[in-house]
Structure 1
Amino acid sequence: MSNVDMTLQQATLPVPQFDQISLEQLKQQIETAIAQGQQFLQDLSTVPESQAARLSVLEQLDTLENNMSEAWGVLSHLNAIMNNAETREVYQSLLPSLSAYYTELGQHTVLYQTFQNVHDASEYQALSAAQQSAIKLALRDFKLSGVALEGEAKKRYAEISARLSQLSSDFSNHVLDATQAYFKPLTEAELKGLPESSVELLKQYGQQRELEQPVATLDFPSYLAIMTYAEDRALRETLYKAYTTRASDQADKPEFDNTQVMEEILKLRQEMAALLGFNHYAELSLASKMAPDVATVQTFLEDLAEHARTPATRDIAELKAIAAADGITELQPWDSTFYSEKLKVQQFNLSQEALKPYFPAPKILQGLFSIVKRLYGIDVIERQAPVWHQDARYFELEDQGQVLGGFYFDLYARSGKRGGAWMSGFRSRMQSKQGLQKPICYMVCNFTPPVGDQPALLTHDEVITLFHEFGHGLHHLLTEVDNISVAGTHGVAWDAVELPSQFMEFWAWDHESLNLLSEHIETQQTLPADLLKALLDARFFQSGMQTLRQIEFALFDLNIHEANPALDAQGIQHTLDEIRRKFSVMPSVAYNRFQHSFSHIFAGGYAAGYYSYKWAEVLASDAFDRFESEGIFNTQTGVEFRKAVLAVGGRDSALDAFVNFRGREPKIDALLRHQGWTNKA
């Protein structure tokens, strides 16, 4: 996608001036925000006597938080998508003081007592539902931040918090650096089997390194192309080994090894949990989630694994059979993607490559915006705004001509950009003295970039990822809550925050949606009937194996965080090996160090919470089940989902929000059906 068209209308919301931002100014802005916050805490020496004065303190805190999250949000965004030595240095230099400030805030006894007094006063009942929820959640978070600790314990908690924020950043940097340090020039023979579009992409990677030959990198579009299409089995193994040993003791770059980082993170998390009176970190993590306890999550995952086992056993048998036909007697991990693609072609006459010309990025965006218009009555309009890279674009959401919020898309993989896909808020909805502040967010992906002068052609998997992130974005943007701490995704239980994102994915599988999303790059035809049928028939392809893989990650995360004492590297590996032995049907190899690049749990917010994807999938499937009954483009149902789930943020509990939409508590039946394991009831 090209840069913003200069004929576009200007952004109507105040947006960051990315073309003018200097790191020095940004650093100064964050330091000022920290100093103002510290001064506020220092000045608050006694609990105000009147309810009005106490509420004024809470309002001041919201304003400070708004200023902080906006300034820090820009820096952390740039650190993730335009990472370089200068940005990283500024980011790292601010981490200790930022961590110290938030620890002081969470442990400020007078501030905590102010919240408690607001809660206990008779006037509390007169507050809005959003204010009441914000206060209840704040009181919970004070306790989880160690407000009740004293003396050495309080000091130690602050030290642990500061160190953990640094270690998470180190972990993420090691994964990024290890990913970008690797590249392998390819010969003509090694390219055998790769489609022309993939060869052109690898040539583009070569040109970026001033080489005349194609280059394999560990950027996901490059890695996936080779694992899917390269007939050279030795090349696939070489890439697989490089990818699965990133940032580990098995790689040839010891400076990026995350072994000690992981060990220290687990040790400090366990110590933090013990300081707060929990048996282990998993207990501490679940104290702020929807799931009631660790045993419930463990049982949920193991039960789901039982449902997946039979289809997964069938999946792996089919994979081994097609590999055996090629003379491969022992299927290896670097064979699975290659033979899965062959099997899909054989069973459904479907290949990702045949689909890609029908999914040019501009058409996908047009189709996505058309779908959300039909569901929620909102328009998405591109506007002109300064951006950090020519690939980035800015849009605004409008409802009957009224701007609700804005968002940026940055969709393609490139050097200096963290892998994966995510949504992060830049600004939250909030009622301030200046009026209503409207939300803005970033949605970031790492899709195959445009090659030559063609627009980017997406795989269907990438289409699903785009819908997923847009679901998160809508959750942030369509909030109707004016209190910053419970607006959008704020205050939403972590294991329910994936509901809107996984829910949106269903529209990438609907035949009517696919007609809106597809247009052949040359003929302008929508997806023909035979390809459409093949795509929909292949929907449940290897769903058993894929589910077991997610359960493997979730149980590994849960189990390493409930270990007391904390595990060392050997214990971490042993835990993963045991879970694979019990639950995985895919072969593994001894050198695989998946855990060393598991950023979700070591550098993201998913520690002892990776199960959230599956937990929320139950909610998303069950919510979509209502659309299936009432019409998946039923505007009234869409309006009700928007009102009950997307609009409420953390004002309502996740369960209440779901029940308000569904009319009952969630059931697992729809999930099992959407995996293809049961028939429609």
Structure 2
Amino acid sequence: MTLTPLALPTTADPTAWLAFLDARGRRSLDEAERLTSALRALSDGDTAALEAWNDLGIVLANASAVGSLVSQVHPDAGVREDAEKIETEVHAFRTRLMLDTEVYARLASLEGADLDAALPTGAGRVLADALRAFRRSGVDRDDATRETLRALSERENDLSQAFSRNIRDGATSTRVPATALAGLPADYVEAHPAAEDGTVEISTGYPDTHPFMAFSTDRDARRAVMTTFLNLAWPANDQVLADLLAVREEMARTLGYSGWPDFDAEVKMIGSGDAIASFVEKVATDAVDSAERDAALLTERARIDHPDLERLDVADARHYSETVRRERFQVDAQQTRTYFDFTRVRQGLLDVTGRLFGITYTPVPDAVSWHDEVTVYDVSLDETGETLGRIHLDLHPRAGKYNHAAQFDLVPGVLDRQLPEGVLVCNFGRGLMEHSEVVTLFHEFGHLLHHTLAGRHPWVRFSGVATEWDFVEAPSQMLEEWAWDHGVLATFATDADGEAIPAELVERMREAEEFGKGIYARTQMYYAAISYYLHEQRPDDLTARVAELSEQYAVSRRLPDTHFHCGFGHLGGYTSGYYTYMWSLVIAKDLFSAFDPADLFAPDVARRYRDTVLAAGGSDDAAVLVERFLGRPYDNAAFTAWLES
């Protein structure tokens, strides 16, 4: 069966996109209503109920994906607002559906049946997942409780959207003296012309803020820029977040859980809220020696410039990390970035992952999109020539766009029904990239690969990146390793004269990166602690509690009068589970141990990993997929060795 990609509007014109949203979003909800009625009408024990459930899942996933994506990327505010309304409508429909006692009864009547004998493989797993989701929604509670849960779910969605919207639309800037650009790369200086008053504007976008914090020698200007960055979406999100935490807590307790973290962790590998706290504490403790050693070196170097310095703060940390890497390891980020021209990096990423996983990316030059900077590729499998799906790369910043880096679904793949389509949404500059940005690009592309390669399952629930949430980051974190290998980088990292990046420079870059890994681990646990403890404790003063957690976990001192939690977007989607980044890293290090560092392009292990882990999607538990690939259960030996080395 030949499947075709989703037909997007032939123009970026808002009118066309509003019509598209109506057709793809609201008409899908009409179809969902019809499918729900048909499902209710089936007899108990009829296996057609599970197939109807899958049909319903496909329709809702399609509507949800387009609403979620377009609300974050379309240049027109009116289109973004309409897409956000569709997200709300889909969420409201899902909430009602998961409290529908008749739909639940039709599915519950199939418990105990040998579904895999009559339906495509995985039917039993789909049923078990659906029934658990229904019960976690409160479908088996009395009418009054179900109504309470419905209202809470819709309120939670509204608050989550507001939290994200305030971050996206709250992008701002800081004006600093033009002299503060001393130390910045020439192309950065050129892109920031001075105004008549002798100041330049530094936005809160990553391509502006990150280089400035690394290279500017003006300490006061760095502090001003970082203060603005750490006050993104404040004060608006302070109350929004407080309300969001309260609503989540009430939902969890209404369902009989001790609190939101226990409710959220139940469907993850970690299992419980208490286990999150234990994991955060263990990693933070294990990283103490390494973090203190490296922090002492940074402070020692900073005192050369500021003899009275007692402790580095977050406005100094990135600058002196860069300084120490340059002076101690002879790694100058301004030199390394000359090897990472954006256009070459983008093509290099495609070449590397194509060679590694046996896939081909074919440009679709006439593909229409929401912005003319988006590039589109069809993805096919080399062994068979089969089209696997389509990817869209939206990689540069603009007003009103999602201002972090993430992979969004556009179409979930379903075997013989629809091709997967995914979108990479990032905010990189259009010229030279820092190597850290290259690593980020590899990481996020890992999610896109996962979505595309796992798009050939009959059950939409386990299509794409559909594993436990605390495993989701592991494949992407592992792909970062290829961005640190000279043999890989040399295939695309060349300077203006075409000279490949030297092997000894890459080695020094790796050594410099290893410096500070204890600080990195402690910082990640600071973020994880915010995520967990704000949900667990719901403090009256969020700013004060975040300040306490900073003192407990972070290495660098926080800046006064800043409100990091207001711009910490992961509190929206990851809720209490930011620990998952480090949990996944433990598994990623173990996965990578199966590869030969001397030949990262070796096809056998890469294709086996592709087929057993990535292409499997959510068809089995993550621990099972990893064990199938490694030939043993995963452990933390590789991670511990990395942290202690």
TM-score category of the 2 structures, normalised to the smaller one:
over 0.9
Q: Secondary structure at the match of 1:586?
A: coil
User: For residues 459-486 of structure 1, what are the alpha-carbon distances to aligned partners after superposition, in whole Å with 9 as ceiling and x for unaligned?
Assistant: 1111111111111111111124221111
What is residue 489 of structure 2 aligned with on the other side?
A: 514
Matches of 1:426 and 1:335, distance apart in 2: 40
What is residue 22 of structure 2 aligned with on the other side?
A: 27
The residue correspondences of 1:368-383 to structure 2 (distance < 5 A) are 368-383=349-364
Matches of 1:96 and 1:629, distance apart in 2: 47
What is residue 401 of structure 2 aligned with on the other side?
A: 417
- Indicate conservation of the 8 Å contact 2:99/2:138, yes or no: yes
What is residue 4 of structure 1 aligned with on the other side?
A: none
- Indicate conservation of the 8 Å contact 1:464/1:508, yes or no: yes
The residue correspondences of 1:323-338 to structure 2 (distance < 5 A) are 323-330=302-309, 331-338=312-319
Matches of 1:579 and 1:412, distance apart in 2: 34
Matches of 1:197 and 1:62, distance apart in 2: 51
Structure 1 unmatched runs, 5+: 1-10, 250-256, 451-455
What is residue 378 of structure 2 aligned with on the other side?
A: 396
Q: CA deviation at 1:277?
A: 0.8
Choose the corresponding residue for 1:132, options 106, 121, 124: 124
What is residue 198 of structure 1 aligned with on the other side?
A: 188
Choose the corresponding residue for 1:108, options 78, 100, 103: 100
What is residue 611 of structure 1 aligned with on the other side?
A: 579
| Two-structure CA RMSD over aligned residues (Å) | 2.3
Q: Secondary structure at the match of 2:390?
A: strand
User: For residues 278-316 of structure 1, what are the alpha-carbon distances to aligned partners after superposition, in whole Å with 9 as ceiling and x for unaligned?
Assistant: 010001101111112222222222111122111110111
Q: CA deviation at 1:221?
A: 1.1
What is residue 523 of structure 1 aligned with on the other side?
A: 497
Choose the corresponding residue for 1:314, options 289, 293, 307: 293
When normalised by structure 2's length, the TM-score is 0.93
Name the aligned partner's letter for residue 100 of structure 2: H
When normalised by structure 1's length, the TM-score is 0.89
Matches of 2:600 and 2:24, distance apart in 1: 46
Name the aligned partner's letter for residue 407 of structure 1: I
Q: Secondary structure at the match of 1:380?
A: strand
- Indicate conservation of the 8 Å contact 1:430/1:438, yes or no: yes
CA gap 1:585/1:284 in 2 versus in 1, 3 angstroms:
same
Q: CA deviation at 1:94?
A: 3.6
CA gap 1:529/1:646 in 2 versus in 1, 3 angstroms:
closer
Choose the corresponding residue for 2:423, options 414, 436, 442: 442
What is residue 151 of structure 1 aligned with on the other side?
A: 143
1:578 aligns with 2:548: yes
1:99 aligns with 2:91: yes
Matches of 1:103 and 1:272, distance apart in 2: 13
Q: Secondary structure at the match of 1:344?
A: helix
- Indicate conservation of the 8 Å contact 1:499/1:616, yes or no: yes
Matches of 2:486 and 2:422, distance apart in 1: 30
Q: CA deviation at 1:509?
A: 1.0
The residue correspondences of 1:278-677 to structure 2 (distance < 5 A) are 278-330=257-309, 331-384=312-365, 385-400=367-382, 401-431=385-415, 435-448=416-429, 450=430, 456-479=431-454, 480-490=456-466, 492-520=467-495, 522-563=496-537, 566-568=538-540, 570=541, 572-602=542-572, 604=573, 606-628=574-596, 631-675=599-643, 677=644
Matches of 1:467 and 1:165, distance apart in 2: 31
CA gap 1:79/1:510 in 2 versus in 1, 3 angstroms:
same
Matches of 1:177 and 1:595, distance apart in 2: 16
CA gap 1:531/1:405 in 2 versus in 1, 3 angstroms:
same
What is residue 32 of structure 2 aligned with on the other side?
A: 37
Matches of 1:437 and 1:320, distance apart in 2: 55
CA gap 1:396/1:673 in 2 versus in 1, 3 angstroms:
farther
- Indicate conservation of the 8 Å contact 1:424/1:441, yes or no: yes
Matches of 1:317 and 1:270, distance apart in 2: 40
What is residue 61 of structure 1 aligned with on the other side?
A: 53
Matches of 2:360 and 2:77, distance apart in 1: 39
Structure 2 unmatched runs, 5+: none
Q: Percent same amino acid at aligned positions?
A: 28
CA gap 1:366/1:85 in 2 versus in 1, 3 angstroms:
closer
Matches of 1:50 and 1:396, distance apart in 2: 41
Matches of 1:469 and 1:487, distance apart in 2: 18
Matches of 1:42 and 1:126, distance apart in 2: 23
CA gap 1:212/1:188 in 2 versus in 1, 3 angstroms:
closer
Name the aligned partner's letter for residue 608 of structure 1: S
User: For residues 195-246 of structure 1, what are the alpha-carbon distances to aligned partners after superposition, in whole Å with 9 as ceiling and x for unaligned?
Assistant: 212112323xx89xx9997421111111112211222221111111111112
- Indicate conservation of the 8 Å contact 1:133/1:486, yes or no: no
Q: CA deviation at 1:109?
A: 1.5
Name the aligned partner's letter for residue 181 of structure 2: L
Higher mean C-alpha displacement, 42-51 vs 226-235: 42-51
Name the aligned partner's letter for residue 392 of structure 2: Y
Q: CA deviation at 1:17?
A: 2.8
CA gap 1:412/1:29 in 2 versus in 1, 3 angstroms:
closer
- Indicate conservation of the 8 Å contact 2:71/2:81, yes or no: no
CA gap 1:358/1:12 in 2 versus in 1, 3 angstroms:
farther
CA gap 1:373/1:96 in 2 versus in 1, 3 angstroms:
closer
CA gap 1:70/1:128 in 2 versus in 1, 3 angstroms:
closer
